[in-house]
Structure 1
Amino acid sequence: MTRQFVGHRAETDDLTESLSVESRAGLRQFSLERMIGYGIDHADAVEMRARVLDGQDWRSAATALARECLRRVEEAPAIAGVLTRVAYLRRASALLRMGQMMMLTDTDERRDIFGQAAALYARAAELAADREPVCIDTDTGKLAGWLIPSGQPAAPAAIVIGGVEGWAMDFDSIGLELAGRGVDALMLDGPGQGETRFRHRHYLSPSWRHAYGRAVGFLDERAPGRPIGVVGNSMGGSFAMALAVDDPRIRACCDNGGIIAPWMVPPSVGTFYSKMVAFCGTDDADLAMKAWASVTPAADGPNAGYPLLIVQGGHDPMVSMDLAQLLLDQAPTGDKQMVVFSDGQHCVYNHRHDRDVLIADWLTTRLH
């Protein structure tokens, strides 16, 4: 029996110039390393890119590979194949999440795709019994997330958030490293992200601090007084710092790829700017930027002395070294440091394991 694949394709200009604008943008914005960083299996990432290069559109390539993963789920042995089913369910979920990445508006189709991805993730979680869904009520809407417990009573806890594109399920590798070190990890979809957005229609507004504060309260109520940290990835790093400086319950904060002034991202960056506007549940760019203007990572506040770790990629095309240094310099805490991966991409996706271990070790040390 032969399992047939398209296989690796050299991504030359001659090959890509005939592709659609969306396909070229997808290949450019979501590198192989970034796809893997969002939970895509290496083989699936290679195959998806090859299919796109051969002319299949971004969404259908991801969806077709997800269907193949689901076929493997059904073929797995009833008793011996539990781990196999979990693995393929998670692979299928990650592929569906990647498939909707190039959709710029919140259509019913996009909600359906993301809903399918979330359902597969939930099915895997139920089989593996290693994480549990969370829904938190706030004044502005519900927050969705996943709690990866450490299994230790009254353990420290951390909130892990993504950015404009990658969300709770996409960064669960950090949560797993934290839980393995005795830190309960809440993988949170904040306002404008993931299930919070597509299922509960809860978007970014100037009231976002209250919503995140309720997430901190959720962890505190489960084990009153325990130390709590926050990890923000990409634009989530800006949220994490702005939250940490205002909330004395936050004992430590890691920013992996945030910027000092999110509201200053110009319209010229194209699809990313459009996604920032959609993050706010509107098509009014001025209204959206007013919401983003409330995200102030370098501002002073009642918890200004919080420990801060900034993780930066030396080859980050979105956040330059100068911008990262500016954020480090202007952060109000005196307890701060930056670790640079010299060849690191945005969010250091190309060193995912080393990045995750660095963040988890540092945060665990600060919270214990």
Structure 2
Amino acid sequence: MSAQQEAAGGSPAPVVTLTFVGSRAETEEATSRLPVASQAALRQFSLERMTGYGVDYADAVELRARVVEGETWPSAATELADVCLRRVEGTAGDVAPPTRVTYLRRASALLRMSQMMMLSDTAERRAIFARAAELYAQAAEPGGDRERVRIETERGPLTGWLVPAGDTPVGSAVVIGGVEGWAMDFDSLGEALAARGVDTLLLDGPGQGETRLTHGHYLTARWPDAYERAVDLLDERSPGRPIAFVGNSMGGSVAMAVAAQDVRIRACVDNGGIHAPWLVPPTMGTFFSKMVAACGTEDPDRAVDVWKTVTPLADGPNADYPLLVVQGGADPMVSMDLARILLQGAPTDDKRMVVFSDGNHCVYNHKLDRDALVADWTTARLRGLPGPEIAK
């Protein structure tokens, strides 16, 4: 007790300490002793990529630190999700709705991160992803700023999240992820588009997210039919309104393939796709394995045959669609040479590429700038205007 408190007859003020492992130096010496799976997770999911998928920065730092200290990637992520959920429950009185939303979204993102290194669609993985989606849905309830969507197709349901624009929408958009990183992981793009007047469907396409893990709807040669139904949904919801298609990572290749065939698509963004997805070699290890798993098979040859049907450079009845290619200059997966092949080979003449010189794959390390660029360009093109000039 301080002298002032003694004089006043008071009691010591309570002090609550929130304990964290804190950041750890990820030296070669520190990581080389870890299991191979932990080393791979630390290598593949950088801080920028984790926050790009919606993981809070503090949670990303803590997760990596716990793994460096010896915890497994799934267990560390799950425990941090549990911490967020305990804070939702609170210890004294009701938790304020904004706080509840924040912690529910953080918990959902951590659970999604916990299953990122799982290659097989086990019951455990399905349960983890379903729980993450349920928490995401609970977070949407107070504000009503997005709603879960289910789209019936011949090969099974598609699932997604519709993020509505304000009172005067100018268009609609489909946003998809890739082989890893799915609808909920790219909600910042949906929010950026909706803020500019574009109703946005964050979609788990065939072989992705809930569509795959809950409904068993994998990527097959019939995948274009599923995306046609997704575009139908937006068209039926707002007849005649122009529609954009935004694809991230390998989803960019899918987006271009869809755009060339569907005359309702009036703008397309490729963020990190390649011109020939089937050329990804088995030597890419985990990534190639995830491409195979997206097809619901263990046969690499069968999966390659399916990926050969994803043809972003193919001509079609809508080959004049406006195209924006977003590329990271330091992308370890998609080189500048590959990006140029994609740009030059695209069937449309209305195309441009914006390169972030130090950008990683999907430009996660410039997330806000990337989202603003994509949303501003897309909104302008849906309005029938040229894309905005880019300040250097």
Same fold (TM over 0.5): yes
| Offset of residue 79 of structure 1 | 5.8
- Are positions 1:299 and 2:299 aligned together? no
Secondary structure in 1 aligned to 2:273? coil
CA contact (8 A) 1:76 1:84 kept: no
Which of 70, 79, 83 does residue 68 from structure 1 map onto?
83
Which of 266, 270, 275 does residue 255 from structure 1 map onto?
270
CA contact (8 A) 2:281 2:288 kept: yes
Which of 84, 101, 116 does residue 101 from structure 1 map onto?
116
Equivalent position amino acid for 1:11 in 2: E
Match of 1:115 in 2: 130
Output one character per residue of 1:101-159: Cα deviation in whole Å (capped at 9) or x when no partner: 00000000000110110010011011221100000011111000000000335641000
| Offset of residue 41 of structure 1 | 0.1
CA contact (8 A) 1:178 1:184 kept: yes
Which of 209, 214, 225 does residue 224 from structure 2 map onto?
209
C-alpha spacing 1:153/1:200, structure 2 compared with 1 (3 Å): farther
Q: Residues of 2 paired with 1:152 and 1:342: CA distance?
A: 37
List aligned pairs for 1:281-292, cutoff 5 A. Answer: 281-292=296-307
CA contact (8 A) 2:169 2:198 kept: no
Which of 336, 341, 350 does residue 321 from structure 1 map onto?
336
List aligned pairs for 1:266-281, cutoff 5 A. Answer: 266-281=281-296
Match of 2:8 in 1: none
Equivalent position amino acid for 1:223 in 2: S
- Are positions 1:52 and 2:62 aligned together? no
Task: Give the alignment's Cα RMSD to 1 decimal.
Answer: 1.0
Which of 158, 162, 167 does residue 177 from structure 2 map onto?
162
Match of 2:164 in 1: 149
- Are positions 1:82 and 2:97 aligned together? yes
The gaps in structure 1 that reach 5 residues or longer are none
Match of 1:348 in 2: 363
Secondary structure in 2 aligned to 1:306? coil
Secondary structure in 2 aligned to 1:9? coil
CA contact (8 A) 2:166 2:195 kept: no
Equivalent position amino acid for 1:213 in 2: E
CA contact (8 A) 1:154 1:223 kept: no
C-alpha spacing 1:77/1:183, structure 2 compared with 1 (3 Å): farther
| Offset of residue 77 of structure 1 | 7.0
Secondary structure in 1 aligned to 2:232? helix
Q: Residues of 1 paired with 2:192 and 2:93: CA distance?
A: 29
Deviation larger for 87-96 or 284-293:
284-293
Q: Residues of 2 paired with 1:303 and 1:98: CA distance?
A: 37
Which of 137, 140, 159 does residue 155 from structure 2 map onto?
140
- Are positions 1:234 and 2:257 aligned together? no
Count of paired positions: 368
C-alpha spacing 1:252/1:287, structure 2 compared with 1 (3 Å): same
| Offset of residue 63 of structure 1 | 0.1
Output one character per residue of 1:56-101: Cα deviation in whole Å (capped at 9) or x when no partner: 0000000000000001100177666100000000000000000000
User: When the two structures are superposed, what TM-score results if normalisation uses the length of structure 2?
Assistant: 0.93
| Offset of residue 284 of structure 1 | 1.0
Q: Residues of 2 paired with 1:255 and 1:265: CA distance?
A: 18
CA contact (8 A) 1:76 1:85 kept: no
Which one has a bigger Cα radius of gyration? 2
Output one character per residue of 1:207-248: Cα deviation in whole Å (capped at 9) or x when no partner: 100100000000000011100001000000000000000100
- Are positions 1:7 and 2:22 aligned together? yes
Identity score, percent: 67
The gaps in structure 2 that reach 5 residues or longer are 1-15, 384-392
Q: Residues of 2 paired with 1:48 and 1:24: CA distance?
A: 13
Secondary structure in 1 aligned to 2:157? strand
Equivalent position amino acid for 1:99 in 2: S
- Are positions 1:339 and 2:326 aligned together? no
Deviation larger for 286-295 or 333-342:
286-295
Equivalent position amino acid for 1:12 in 2: T
Match of 1:129 in 2: 144
Which of 26, 30, 38 does residue 41 from structure 2 map onto?
26
User: When the two structures are superposed, what TM-score results if normalisation uses the length of structure 1?
Assistant: 0.99
Q: Residues of 2 paired with 1:299 and 1:79: CA distance?
A: 56
Q: State the 4+ residue runs in structure 1 displaced beyond 3 angstroms.
A: 76-80
Secondary structure in 2 aligned to 1:337? strand
Q: Residues of 2 paired with 1:360 and 1:367: CA distance?
A: 10
